[in-house]
């Protein structure tokens, strides 16, 4: 069993409610210092990293992704689960709903996206998300859905990662749909690629909090996002608790 699991929290998940015995720490890396919390959830030791800072103040394009991933590696994390709030590109996705993505398309630019600026180093990135932890999250989500009335869930999806911090145009969402994206967010890349460079198993769980621009002829209403996020992140917390409880009982998969 892994001695330490990492959780990266995004918008709507800036605090890890239910983390027992939480203590704060600042971890220094070659790319900067990172504030984290250490604690326990259902018998599993956890390091929690709020992606946008404590309190949240760093926009997606300014996040120090290299420092974040390196800090988790240095802390001894054996795997990381990343929580994200996203919009839907696929019009059949409900709001709110939970998606465990299995692929990513990178539309970002100008971000520090590799640890290997000074040398030639290639990684296989055919399947960016760790399948073992993806399967654990899917199993936990299916279990939670059986007890949560109205919970919508999809066990695969292509995450389109945009630069931000602005939301997308209707034309951009239409293009992403043609590219094969199902959801759109701003933080999966280069986070998942950096984790792969450091051989850190990485799985994501996303909450769809709005329809993408132009889906159904609608514009994005920020007040509706807040309501969907609150409900969806409640499901995510239940899924993480179930996944960690199952893992504590025995790694299984």
Question: Angle at which helices 188-197 and 65-75 pack, to 10 degrees?
Answer: 40
Please report how the helices 222-249 and 131-145 are oriented relative to each other, as an axis angle in degrees rounded to 10: 110
Q: Domain ranges for the chain, please list them.
A: 5-249
> What integer pLDDT is reported at residue 84 of this predicted model?
96
CATH class of this structure's domain 5-249 = alpha beta
pTM over 0.75: yes
**Rounded to an integer, what distance in angstroms lies between the CA atom of residue 88 and that of residue 3?**
35
Q: What is the predicted pLDDT for the residue at 224?
A: 80
Tens-digit pLDDT profile for residues 162-200: 999 999 999 999 999 999 999 999 999 999 999 999 999
CA max distance for the chain: 52
Evaluate whether 7 touches 51 at the Cβ level (below 8 Å). Answer: no
User: Which string of b and e fits 81-109 if b means at least 16 CB within 10 Å?
Assistant: bbbbbbbbbbeebebbbbbbbbbbbbbbe
Residue 15: per-residue pLDDT: 83
| pLDDT in 10s for each residue of the chain, 253 residues | 447 999 999 888 888 878 899 999 999 999 999 999 999 998 899 999 999 988 888 999 999 999 999 999 999 999 999 999 999 999 999 999 999 999 999 999 999 999 898 888 899 999 999 999 999 999 999 999 999 989 999 999 999 999 999 999 999 999 999 999 999 999 999 999 999 999 999 999 999 999 999 997 766 677 788 889 999 999 999 999 999 999 987 755 5
pLDDT digits (tens, 9 = 90+) for 120-144: 889 999 999 999 999 999 999 999 9
Predicted pLDDT at 253: 54
């Amino acid at each position: 069993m892994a001695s330490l699991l990492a959780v990266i929290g995004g918008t709507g998940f800036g605090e890890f409610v239910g983390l027992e015995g939480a203590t704060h720490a600042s971890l220094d890396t070659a790319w900067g210092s990172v504030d984290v919390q250490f604690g326990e959830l259902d018998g599993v030791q956890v390091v929690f990293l709020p992606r946008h800072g404590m309190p949240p103040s760093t926009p997606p394009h300014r996040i120090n992704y290299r420092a974040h991933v390196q800090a988790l590696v240095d802390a001894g994390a054996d795997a990381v689960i990343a929580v994200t709030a996203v919009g839907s590109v696929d019009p059949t996705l409900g709001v709110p709903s939970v998606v465990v993505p299995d692929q990513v398309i990178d539309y970002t630019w100008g971000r520090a996206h590799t640890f290997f600026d000074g040398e030639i180093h290639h990684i296989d990135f055919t399947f960016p998300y760790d399948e073992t932890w993806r399967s654990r999250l899917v199993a936990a989500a299916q279990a939670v859905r059986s007890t949560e009335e109205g919970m919508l869930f999809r066990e695969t999806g292509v995450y389109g990662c945009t630069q931000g911090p602005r939301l997308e145009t209707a034309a951009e969402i239409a293009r992403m749909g043609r590219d094969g994206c199902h959801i759109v967010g701003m933080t999966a890349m280069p986070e998942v690629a950096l984790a792969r460079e450091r051989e850190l198993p990485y799985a994501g769980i996303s909450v769809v909090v709005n329809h993408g621009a132009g889906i159904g002829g609608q514009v994005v209403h920020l007040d509706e996002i807040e309501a969907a996020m609150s409900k969806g992140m409640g499901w995510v917390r239940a899924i993480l608790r179930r996944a960690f409880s199952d893992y504590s009982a025995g790694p299984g998969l």
